[in-house]
Structure 1
């Protein structure tokens, strides 16, 4: 080999190595200690709807374009429900009949999916219930599940990340008599706060949606919005404050705690209250997951909700480029000099409402990878399998590649039986509908299918890192009556 060729190889190798070193060195993000918390936390308006003569609670939602001033003097193009960004918090009670009148004022078709809700598949708002631009849709159902913190967001096949990232999301709180009898913080916006967390990046007057180099998880932003507010603070006047944490980001996994490492009490997960409170100082949430925590405040103090670096068994590459090394200050809580006394938290919360796996009639296995679930990308016209109404199953879900994934199932609330053949940690003891599955991890999930059957309308199961979902990391199943078979290809749209 000539000296010139050797020199060229050295130059190219050095240049490539140098570029990678620069990219790697600048890949992590941290706002810890850098925020002044100058903006008061916005609280999404609480919508209780109107009640029709037959008792049906009716909500109205319009998907629309808007412009919002996240930063002083700078307007950003956004999407929202009934406003410029995010949507109202809907609230209903177990046993109520609900209808949501939806109008799509966007320039393209979208959907509204009721994440965590048990309801007929034709009302689920998945990719088969597209609402065309200018069209309307009015799903209706009866609330048939325990009190919980749910949410709603679009679910168009191939475009979910874009629609959610632009601001189409909102909280949906369910109440029941059991939860209302407990001495828990419950005054919305006072001692019971919605905390909708999203990462964003600004690019002029747009919310940037680009995927930076090596980010195979999807979009990762460099700033945090809480309820659409940058660098927010909230003044609180109670000894105990309930935070309903919702990870509404499209790809980022958060490890929530407090800047002073104080302990808090976990009282609820995706599908509702735990059986017993759990004391913790960290709460990990992947996209779509929720947690209800209660923190004790002392008069006059301040504390910061912080998202810490992630310890999830990611490899060297994904720890750096999938956000594992990132950390954020999220929200500052400021206690009044005099606080209203709060009753002590109860020793027990809610009776168990998920199966324990003992009555499962079948075990199914799901291998997660970017190539698809069980190696098969989503096909809108393919029903992957059917389940029989009234039966219980155990689903075994394994992350088969090196990047982070999670797993969400529509309509059902499941229980984590094991994580890598060991009992799940206490924070996974409650009812779930979305679960984080780190690399080389296997979870066993017990679930029952006691909702309505429809052989022609499917439910989804998928990774809730939304770019992965958009890349067809999703499947679909139908619930059928005993002896019934799945119907034909599903109908699309409204």
Structure 2
């Protein structure tokens, strides 16, 4: 894999592999922390504003849309049970700050800067430059009423505010906030509209984890940049350049530049002691498989421990998987690194994901001080004493709902997501049918009841009730999808591989899904999560409790391009006393006895 030559930027034409930028030149930027209750405030205003910010010191400033003038936005730090009201105020000025271009997939345009409109097959993506500042904020992972959740259609224009109330009635966990506007989430988030939100509690406090300057958010993104047509130099202009399959779908965005906390390839000076990093993949679609490596690119992952996931603390510290930690878009990890044995050395966070292609694998560099430092922290054997593993027939209540979802590719090769209802009758024939030879029971037949956001709502769950979501990725190939379910934290119950018989042209299975084999879960996948990777040819089952809010929520693929292009569906959580009076289409879930 091509490495980046560390040399100053040039004023001449820019070529690979480093596009004229020096690796690890700039210090990591740490977003400011907002702790409203320490100011004795339970209500704050966060403006969305245009900001000019350098993504690298060798670049001109980039025009961004930001929360409170920062990319990433400020880290909001609250305690469990402390209600917070936020007015998200749209004060964005100026034109949409992206140049959006498409090019032929065979030419791999995503790996190069510059709009390249002089090349055959390249064109501007119509309409992106004309987009207004139309925004709505979703606090990802929050248990809140639907009116505060950031419903995609409820975006507002400049001069309006979104008033939200977050009860924070959930354990310590890392949330994040980002734009969720219907059909343009991929573009709005790409402008810079994302930030972290941390909830803390007494259980976390008792661990006396590294804190203050030794607890640092790491928000990972990727971007592309335009070039000057005369000189070839990078301009700092954000470039949304994507490949397009002839007569087929647009491929989701990935870029050649990796940013951590809004800085391209930064460095961080650290003491020779334990640090806590709150890791977030805020990229549109890129997966990262992360390893900590030394100067010779040899993994030193034994210095790393995972202590938490999207939904809070793990029961015990977990080692990184042998091949590295795969982090899908929207996933968060609570990571401890012990730098004590690396005095005076340099380490790197490096991406080994096979989908990386020719893009630079390094994300950032850690520069460890050569002096010994007193460190009171000792890694405990137990992290969360409140954690309970969900198991059918014991800790998971027997009386729960089942939801069935299919992920697939349509006849044009475009990814889709279907709500399914189970039929009590044999296969009726036609499109939209999924059959499954359930290893735990009889043949099951499902019918699609909705596949785009504005189709009929088919999933209704009683408030405070447990539901098991069964997600079937029936495509024969295609991408893995990180599926996010709003309102709840869940645990993965199992992964099962199967032989898929889904026919894209016929839009149905031609024989029941069969040949099921269990795929072992990673230890961290047994933790509480709100986003789960579903690979092709797999059945992933997750269980969560739907309390803390009511109303109409969303679930979707968190590859933002897929979400915007149809892989998002609604579901309703309502009081059971109201549900019996509600006339709605049947199906979508059933109650187990």
Judge same fold: TM > 0.5, yes or no: yes
The answer as to whether partners of 2:71 and 2:195 remain within 8 angstroms in 1 is no
Question: Of 302, 311, 324, which aligns to 2:346?
Answer: 302
Query: Alpha-carbon deviation of 1:340?
Result: 3.4
Q: Secondary structure at the match of 2:563?
A: helix
Change (3 A) 1:90 1:153: same
Give the corresponding residue for 2:49: 64
Q: Which residue does 2:369 correspond to in 1?
A: 336
Alignment correspondent of 1:471: 565
Matched, 1:40 2:27: yes
8 Å CA contact 1:269–1:292 kept in 2: the answer is yes
Q: CA deviation at 1:381?
A: 6.9
Q: Distance in 2 between matches of 1:174 and 1:464?
A: 22
Task: Map 1:85-484; keep pairs closer than 5 Å.
Answer: 85-106=71-92, 107-187=132-212, 190-203=213-226, 204-214=235-245, 216-259=250-293, 260-263=298-301, 264-280=304-320, 282-297=324-339, 298-310=342-354, 319=355, 323=356, 328-338=361-371, 339-350=373-384, 351-352=386-387, 355-357=390-392, 358-360=396-398, 361-369=400-408, 370-374=415-419, 376-380=450-454, 382-401=456-475, 402-420=478-496, 421-453=518-550, 457-484=551-578
2:176 touches 2:195 (CA, 8 Å); kept in 1?
yes
| Native 8 Å contact 2:493 2:543 kept in 1 | yes
Residues 384 and 30 of structure 1: CA distance in aligned 2, closer, same or farther (over 3 Å): farther
TM-fit CA distance, 1:302: 1.2
TM-score normalised by L of structure 1: 0.84
After alignment, is 326-335 or 163-172 more displaced?
326-335
- Deviations along 1:335-382, one digit per CA (max 9) or x if unpaired, are 112233242111111121674443152222111131333464333474
SS of equivalent to 1:292 = strand
Gaps of 5+ in 1: 1-28, 311-318, 490-494
Using a 3 Å threshold, how does the CA distance of structure 1 residues 240 and 51 change in structure 2: closer, same or farther? closer
SS of the aligned residue for 2:286 comes to coil
Cα distance between partner residues in 1 of 2:257 and 2:382: 38
Alpha-carbon distance, 1:212 to partner: 2.2
Distance (whole Å) between structure 1 residues aligned to residue 567 and residue 453 of structure 2? 10
Q: Any idea what the Cα deviations from partners look like across 1:89-134, whole Å, max 9, x if unmatched? A: 0010001011112111234211110001111111111314322221
Distance verdict in 2 for CA 1:354–1:126, change over 3 Å = farther
CA distance, structure 2, for counterparts of residue 69 and residue 488 of structure 1? 52
CA offsets 1:257-281 (integer angstroms, 9 cap, x no match): 1123112101010011101111125
Query: What's the secondary structure of 2:54's corresponding residue?
Result: strand
Distance (whole Å) between structure 2 residues aligned to residue 354 and residue 123 of structure 1 = 30
- How many pairs does the alignment contain? 441
